[in-house]
Amino acid sequence: MKQAVILAAGEGQRLRPFTVNRPKAMLAIAGKPILQYVVEALAQNGIRDIVLVVGYHKEQVLDYMGSGEQLGVRLTYVTQPKQLGTAHALAQARGSIQGDFLTLAGDNLIEADTIASFLNIKPTAVLVKRVDDPMRYGVVTLDQRGEVKEIVEKPAEARGNLVSTGIYAFSPQIFDFIEPELDLPDVLNKMIGQGHTIRAEETEDTWLDVIYPWDILSLNDAILRQIQASLAGTVEAGVALKGQVWVGKGTVIRSGSYITGPVVIGEGCDIGPNVCILPATSLGNNVVISPFTQIKNSVIGDDVSIGPGGIIEDSVIDQGCIIGGHFTACCGREEVKVDHERHLVSVGAMLGEGCNLGSGVVAQPGAVVGNYAQVHSLKLLSGRLPDRSLVF
């Protein structure tokens, strides 16, 4: 199998505010968008002819990925004008397919090993994995021969913990079954009903989906577990580095700072003095962390400035935020509402792009702050604030 289709047209509404200005597949984790990890995994397995299905904010994908030459692949782009479903997205690639091919989601984190053994399976087939929370996914039922009997999307009660990863091996015949279906599980169920065999291959390797804002932290943790220490910036005397710490070019880590990996710090950052960065934290490019601030298990985007004396745990702060001194975002178990769903999760704060927070702001666990919100000093944030909120 030498060709792949990556579905990267979706928005990811449940990930707002982080997907208001970018497609879900372009969410940055440890300095790279999720989509790039998928492309790299394919390239490492020798698949270099890749069709990208784009749609929502497609210009961001095109601008970043380009021709694919920098990643050693050849990218062909097709557009899904309206995001109607995964089968509808795949149908847009019909004219670019020459033979058997792999189909993957551009917003799922995988590694090269995840798909290595799957490449030799005969179409039609689906890659499956056992998970702890199957009701978030398409639950797969197998017959006695290990072939797919049925796929049930997000069941109210799961009969098992084996789910579809959304990674498929198809032949061009799949396009004959798509219409009028909109989603690929429905297409496969229709094929099964007509007597076609759908094989299942189980993986125990990395596969993580990002559905809710706090899932970004899980992906970040998984990626950081694979990093190797690299110090391309300037580390002043009196800095303590432990474990795997990756520091980008032009970054300065000032005296008295304490960093325990795995941690990724991007390029052009100014850290410290006397800053504490604890495991599972990634900082983007051009980030400023002022003295006596502590950050743990968090994702900080590009061009973020954080004032002195802050405490940030289990949080996601999008690019361009300016945060005053003594900001507090501590983790706790809290019920978070997403659309009409309610989730009890342990999480800190989720700040959208371009927020401006005054000094002494406290974000309660589970607070979600929309893009470009402005918050005056000494305010307590909780619940969900819409984009461009003004709190004074």
For every one of its 392 residues, what pLDDT tens digit does the chain have, with 9 covering 90 and above? 789 999 999 888 889 999 998 999 999 988 899 999 999 999 999 999 999 999 999 999 999 999 989 999 999 999 998 888 899 999 999 989 989 999 999 999 998 999 998 888 888 899 999 988 888 888 988 888 888 888 888 877 777 888 999 999 999 999 999 988 889 999 999 998 888 999 998 888 889 888 889 999 999 999 999 899 999 999 999 999 999 999 999 999 999 999 998 999 999 999 989 999 999 999 999 999 999 999 999 999 999 999 999 999 999 999 999 999 999 998 888 778 777 778 788 899 999 999 999 999 999 999 999 999 999 999 999 989 999 999 99
CA atoms within 13 A on the CB side of 223: 30
- Whether 165 and 203 have beta carbons less than 8 Å apart is answered as yes
Domain limits, CATH 2.160.10.10, in the chain:
228-391
Q: Three-state DSSP class for 202? A: strand
In CATH, which superfamily holds the domain spanning 3-211?
Spore Coat Polysaccharide Biosynthesis Protein SpsA; Chain A (3.90.550.10)
> What is the value of pTM for the model shown?
0.90
Q: CATH topology for 228-391? A: UDP N-Acetylglucosamine Acyltransferase; domain 1 (2.160.10)
DSSP H stretches of helix in 31-80: 34-44, 58-65
The Cα–Cα gap between 91 and 122 comes to 21
With a CB cutoff of 8 Å and minimum separation 6, the contacts of 128 are 140, 162, 163, 164, 165, 200, 201, 202, 203
Residues 95, 99, 100, 103: what is their CA dihedral angle, to the nearest 10 degrees?
-20
**CA 235, chain centre distance (Å):** 30
Domain limits, CATH 3.90.550.10, in the chain:
3-211
